[in-house]
Each structure stands twice: as C-alpha cells, then as structure tokens.
Amino acid sequence: MVGIILASHGDFAKGILQSGEMIFGVQQDVKAVTLQPSEGPDDIRAKMEEALTTFENPEQVLFLVDLWGGTPFNQTSGLFHGHEAQWAVVTGLNLPMLIEAFASRMSMETAHEIAAHIFRVAKEGVRLLPEQLEPVEEQPVAEAPKQQGAIPEGTILGDGHIKYVLARIDSRLLHGQVATAWTKTVKPTRIIVVSDGVAKDALRKNLIEQAAPPGVKANVVPVDKMIQVAKDPRFGDTKAMLLFETPQDALRAIEGGVDVKELNIGSMAHSVGKIAVSKVLSLGKEDVKTFEKLKAKGIRFDVRKVPNDSKENMEDIIKKAKAELA
C-alpha cells in the first residue's frame, strides 16, 4: 500500500488527518508531520525521515503538502530528490484530496497513479454558494448532441431490475461519511434518500441534492415512490444507494417490494424514549420491534459507520436495548 505523509505549517496536517479518518476510518501508513513556530527546516525534515521508517513500503510514498514554496514543501522536495520514479508530491492539501487519496490506495498501487488522480478531485472539491458566483469555464465548441426525451414507460433497461449496492439506515442521511467513504466503496450511480418527511421539506431536500459527490446524482423520494421505482424496468441500469432515516421506513419499503437483502446500520439519533446502545445508535421499543420484523424477513444487518470499521453484532445490540428498555 502507498504510504502517505501529510506536511504542514502548524497543526493543520494533524487536524486534517483527524477529519479524514473521522469520515473514512482509521488508516495505516499515514503520518502527519508539522512545522511548529519554534522549529526550523531541519526539524520537519527529521520528522519526515522518521515517518518514512514506519511505512511497510517506503518505495511508494505520496506527500500531501499544504503550500507550494513553504518550508514543509521545500524539505519535502529535498527528500524527494532521487526518488522521482516512485514518490510523488501534491500541494494544496484539502479534505477532498485526502479522502480521495485514502480511497485510491485500495485500487492503485503507485504514488504516481494516486497523485495524478487526486489532482482533479482536489480542484472539484472547491465549490461556491450561491453557485452563480462560480466562474464559467469556456468549453470547446462541439456538435450538439441529439435531444433525448423521457424514457417511454414500459422500456426495459438492462435486466429491468434496479441494483442496490447499499441500503443504509442513518438518521443523518447524506453526510460526509456516506458521500465519500461509502460512495467510493460501493460506487453507486444514484443516491436515493427514501423519506416521507424529507421529501416534503424543500430546504432539506435541496441541501441533500447539493451534497451529492461529483458524478453521482442524488434524489429524495417518499417511501411509496421508491416502491414504484423498484418495480419500474426503466431503472434496470441504475446502481442505487438507498438511505433511510428510520428502520420503519426501511421496513415499509421492503414490505412494498424493494428487494433489499441487507441493511447497513450507520447511526440512529437519540430522542425521548430511546436508549443509547452504542456511541452512534439509540433505539426505542418500536425500533427493536422493527428490527425483529426485518430479521424475520431474512434481512441481514451490517452495523458499521464507515467501510473500514469492524462489524458490530446486531443480535447483541438488540438484546442490550430490550434489557434496558424493559
């Protein structure tokens, strides 16, 4: 696996590593090195050299540095000399860049590959609101594509059955861990938030649609609409990530014909009448009953916040909730 060194003025590198691992999970062979106000060039270089000795494969190293021309970059350049064929350096470190680097290590074996890939992603991660403030880039003139209308009802795409790459219960719905870690792991073409409440809330619906990662479309639909979509052969080419706010919504959808075999349990917020059974899961009596109904239908449970987490035992969680709610 490619090792990663984050280098910065001050504690920025440590902070962004903490943020990245909060979203994507704890990472191996990633080190943050910092230049403190009381330190000089030799100090940060020594920290980099020490970090390199801890990597399993020091032949493939990616340096993500805060600022071109600063002391961390200058010392990185000194170390980089003589390793140009294996190592790579990228400046302008930001969170989208770091998360993409984490994800890319799963499929890319060289620092050069990852560096070339994350360069574009880092720029795409800089966005503006309101969107009209974003400068319009001139595009080369190309032949206008033929206009396509709506796909006629009854058309069968693919095998006519929507593919569910992930179905997740998460009271926060679409947030950083979902938009980055899970999306990069299961690679959906569409994220569908299934919630009657959110579908009626124009503000929440708009925020969710804006939060979609690049290249993936996000939609918000009520449960009954999702049941209709599941039976529509026009979605046969769709790889969908379903996000449910509650287990009750998931049960309704499954009973209505949404062919989900496994539910990823991410987070369930605490409220009156619920007890905390873990750091991120709070269950009430109705939640316990709902999970038992889902289990009776043969639904499997995958209790993880992010892909790198170890799976928790849902049986133990339900037992704990039942005991404390009794």
Q: What pLDDT is recorded for position 147?
A: 47
Q: Give me 228's structure tokens.
A: 């209709």
Contact 248, 290 (CB under 8 A): yes
Q: What tens digit of pLDDT does each residue of 248-301 get?
A: 999 999 999 999 999 999 999 888 999 999 888 999 999 999 999 999 999 999
pLDDT at residue 186 greater than cutoff 80: yes
Q: Please tell me whether residue 86 adopts helix, strand or coil conformation.
A: coil
Pairwise pLDDT comparison (130 vs 142), residue with the higher score: 130
Of 121-125, 162-166, 262-266, which range is least confident? 121-125
Contact 190, 216 (CB under 8 A): yes
Q: Give me 248's structure tokens.
A: 């009750």
Tell me which of 9, 81, 83, 117 is the catalytic residue: 9
Of 28-32, 101-105, 174-178, which range is least confident? 174-178
Tell me 189's DSSP state: S
Tell me which of 117, 161, 175, 270 is the catalytic residue: 175
Tell me 177's DSSP state: I
Contact 94, 120 (CB under 8 A): no
Distance CA 144, CA 201 (A): 36
Distance CA 236, CA 232 (A): 8
Q: Where in the chain is the domain with CATH 3.40.35.10?
A: 163-325
Provide the whole-model pTM.
0.72
Contact 187, 239 (CB under 8 A): yes
Nearest to 213 by CA among 53, 95, 89: 95
User: What is the average per-residue pLDDT within 127-144?
Assistant: 72
Distance CA 48, CA 34 (A): 9
* Residue 160 binned pLDDT confidence (cut-offs 50, 70, 90): confident
Q: What tens digit of pLDDT does each residue of 13-44 get?
A: 999 999 999 999 899 999 999 999 888 889 99
38: number of Cβ within 10 Å: 6
pLDDT at residue 106 greater than cutoff 90: no
CATH of 163-325, one of 3.40.35.10, 3.20.20.70, 3.40.50.720, 3.30.70.1230: 3.40.35.10
Burial of 162 (0-12, 13-18, 19+ CB in 10 A): buried
Q: Whole-number mean pLDDT of the chain?
A: 91
pLDDT at residue 238 greater than cutoff 90: yes
The secondary element (H helix, E strand) that includes residue 283 is: strand 282-283
Distances (CA, A) of 304 to 24, 153, 225, 267, 278: 12, 38, 27, 9, 11
Instruction: Return the CATH fold of 3-124.
Output: Rossmann fold (3.40.50)
Contact 47, 126 (CB under 8 A): no
Concerning whether 9 is annotated as a catalytic residue, the answer is yes
